Structure 1
């Protein structure tokens, strides 16, 4: 048998072991439940408002529009005269969509829905990847497996490929199922599907994000030998990121350079094919200190390179540790 055929058999065996784990089934059911429950919000958004709601909301809209017609010129002039930037003094005209007189468009619902499913799949993939190798360390089954297949790098590779394939499948099912259900309910209520291509592209980009999460969970648990330790690393970062995000919000502060390198910003940039983040810049004048918000762009190319480098580091570091570590 060729080496490639032997490795393929190892991958198939690892996929079977991964599928048979209870946590994998539980994670899959939770992802499907999250996608299904979100459809309640989707139906509420894409369904036309009732006649009673239309009557009430139209009254609010007409009142707001009348106030805008009577006062927006004077208020915008007063704002500019006070020294504010003209762009900050625009009072936008109320529209029927602001008062739920029409159903929310598919293009406004689908991106949020797909991104939600992507993050749910990300969390599930991280948990499954971490528990898969963590459980093998804690139960001792990894040592037994290596007695049958002593080539450690092949075993490592087969496990990593199995986690990546399972994560990709979970990410694809979650994202495209969410997109399909949103499109279905939108059409059932008579709405158009403008923006379907962009939403499908986001769903496609959610697949490699899920793979990255699965590999990250697998690597953290491999390096620490425990599922709980891998989860602790993830939870610890979530707590630390709140502090780091606050410190990094000052563009002139010691951590003003940090936002383009934060994982959460790069996940958003990858999913959305580019994203923006806001920092503030302090200006000191004779009359005091003021802060101005500055919006900065984080490109898709930056995020793709960022995750490619981290993926290589994770795979290589995991291979080096697995090749030499005592697994008994």
Structure 2
């Protein structure tokens, strides 16, 4: 048995690289990322002259333009003042054609909270399954017993697997989401749409935070699969936790601000930089009306609270560490 970590890590890298289910999950993440970019680019594409001409010929558009030209103040409001007949007709035509032929302009900043987040959710879930599949396959095929014959120190085996799959989750998510964000920036540049430097920096920061979240998700899937020795059982447990965790925290009554400890709130804070939640208890009596409504404008009565990225990261990381510790303990003591 070699005392070095390097042969063990190389073996785990090869095992991860050639596992078919892992490759399919990574391919799925690639497809989701490419699909998100393609749909965003297509839905926000500029309107061509041919499309405008086609819309211009439709009966209802012609009628709408005529109505606007006949009654410019009704359509244009204050803009109609000082316009002669030709200017009013031209303005009406631009207005009506914009209604019927326009598409939303690419807004890179809004994409961070819309399409980018949707893609993030799918990528993170696929990487979580990658971690679970990587470990679950060893148990379902019985290859774990052979691996422990080569390296009898179980903790080393667990840590080597965790390191490899965690780094893989970090790298895959960083590459894919970085490519998506970079692609959106290039798309905006090609269309001469200005993007503030602050938005660019926020996007790259979100990519980095999401990569950390993806690595933690991958490790969580791996740790649970090593704990339960089954990919299917891991998926079932994760589904049950996703459905019930927030309700269990609230039902326990341990925290007045139950949403603060909701996993969804903290994961959102880690990914997006911050997340808001609302408290129903703990406010002064003066903060409530006679009907029980909150007077949010009074000092100290605002029910909205914010969780930062560091707080969300610590919460999420601590949860993964707890599950990982239990997984290592069971792996050390349980018969193979």
Assess same fold via TM > 0.5: yes
- Measure the CA separation in 1 of the matches of 2:289 and 2:112: 45
* 1:278-313 deviation per Cα after TM superposition (whole angstroms, max 9, x unaligned): 455798755x44467732211222112212322332
Measured on the aligned residues, the alpha-carbon RMSD in Å equals 3.5
Aligned length: 288
1:274 and 1:299 in contact (8 A); partners too: yes
Cα deviation code 1:176-200 (max 9, x no counterpart): 1211221222222222232111101
Structure 1 residues 242 and 66, CA gap change in structure 2 (3 angstroms): farther
Q: Which residue in the other structure is 1:315 paired with?
A: 324
Shift of 1:320: 1.4
Match of 1:13 among 4, 11, 25: 11
Equivalent residue runs for 1:171-182 within 5 Å:
171-182=173-184
* Structure 1 pair 201–63 and aligned structure 2 pair: CA distance change class (3 A): farther
CA distances 1:238-296 after superposition (whole Å, capped 9, x unpaired): 22257569x68xxxx8864211111111111011211212455798755x444677322
Alpha-carbon offset, residue 234 of structure 1: 1.3
**Contact kept in structure 2, 1:46 and 1:186, CA below 8 Å:** no
Of residues 217, 232, 238 in structure 1, which corresponds to 2:221?
217
Matching residue of 2:147 = 145
Alpha-carbon distance in 2 for matches of 1:54, 1:272: 40
Is contact 2:216–2:317 with CA below 8 Å preserved after alignment?
no
TM-score (normalised: structure 1) = 0.76
CA contact (8 A) 2:43 2:104 kept: no
Distance in 2 (alpha carbons) for counterparts of 1:303 and 1:105: 27
The residue aligned with 1:300 is: 309
SS at match of 1:275: strand
Counterpart check, 1:226 vs 2:230: yes
Partner of 1:115: 117
**Whole-Å separation in 2 of the counterparts to 1:292 and 1:238:** 33
| Larger Rg, first or second structure (1 or 2) | 2
Structure 2 residue ranges without an equivalent (≥5): 79-97, 297-302
**In structure 2, distance between residues paired with 1:292 and 1:38:** 41
**8 Å CA contact 1:131, 1:227 repeated in 2:** yes
* Alignment correspondent of 2:41: 43
Structure 2 residue matching 1:307: 3-state secondary structure: helix
Q: Which of 243, 247, 255 is residue 239 of structure 1 equivalent to?
A: 243
TM-score, scaled to structure 2: 0.74
1:298 to 1:54, Cα distance in 2 relative to 1, 3 A: farther
CA deviation profile, 1:78-121 (whole Å, cap 9, x unmatched): xxxxxxxxxxxxxxxxxx9xx96872322222453433333222
Task: Assess if the C-alpha contact under 8 Å between 1:136 and 1:142 holds in 2.
Answer: yes
Kept in 1: contact 2:178–2:207 (CA 8 A): yes
- Listed as ranges, the gaps of 5+ residues in structure 1 are 68-95
User: Partners of 1:310 and 1:255 in 2: how far apart?
Assistant: 17
For 1:2 and 1:290, the matched residues in 2 are separated by 68
2:306 aligned counterpart, secondary structure: strand
